[in-house]
Amino acid sequence: MGGLRSGRTPKSPSAHRLEATGRRRGAASSKSPPAPLAAAMPERPAGLDSDAAWLWDFLLADPAFAANVNRWDTPLLTTLCRVWSLVCRAQTEAAKQPLDRDARIALTQYVSTFDSLAARFGLSPSDRQRMRIETAKPDQPGIKARKR
C-alpha cells in the first residue's frame, strides 16, 4: 500500500492558525481593546426598606468602599442590604422572646449569611487585608515611614 494514506488529509499550519485566530499571521489585529469594567456607581434599587436603605447609604458614603464597587455589584450589594434588614428584624423578635428557639435560629442564620456576604465586600479589617484593599490611614505625627 505504499503511498496511499487512509483517513483525512492533514491541514497545513497556516490553516490551523486561520481557524484558531480568525486571521492570518501578520494581519493587523481586528480586535478592539477590551471594554473597561463599568466604573459607574451602583444605583440604589427601589423597594429597599428603611434598614436596607440605611446600610446602602452608609456603605456608599465611604470613599474607600465606593472605590471598590461598581454597577456590576448591585445585585450582591442589594442582597447584602436586604439580609441586613432581616438581621435587624430578627434581632427585634429575638429580644421580645429570648426563649423562642426559632427566633434565635433565624437570627443566627441571618447573621451568618450577612457575615459571608460582607466578607465579599471587605467590611471587616481581616476581610480587607485578605482582599488587599487599601484604606485611607490618618497621618500619625511622630511616626516616620521606613525606607526599603
Distances (CA, A) of 39 to 21, 45, 101, 136, 141: 30, 18, 45, 20, 35
Asked if residue 48 lies in contact with residue 78, where contact means CB atoms within 8 angstroms, the answer is yes
Q: What is the pLDDT of residue 145?
A: 46
**The overall pTM is greater than 0.75:** no
- Ranges of residues in the chain with a pLDDT under 50 are 140, 142-146, 148
Looking at residue 14, its pLDDT comes to: 73
Structure confidence at residue 67 (pLDDT)? 83
Give 14-21 contacts, CB < 8 A, sequence gap 24+: none
Taking CA atoms, 114 is separated from 12, 117, 148, in Å, by 57, 5, 40
Q: How many helices (H) and strands (E) does the chain have?
A: 6, 0
Are 44 and 53 in contact, with CB atoms under 8 Å apart? yes
The residue whose grid cell reads 435587624 is 88
* Ramachandran assignment for 132, one of left (phi > 0), alpha (psi -120 to 50 degrees), beta (any other): left
Whole-number pLDDT of residue 148: 44
pLDDT value at residue 124: 83
Q: What is the pLDDT of residues 61-73, one digit of tens each?
A: 988 888 888 888 9
Interacting residues of 135 by C-beta distance below 8 A, sequence separation 6+: 64, 128
Q: How far apart are CA 106 and CA 88, in angstroms?
A: 11
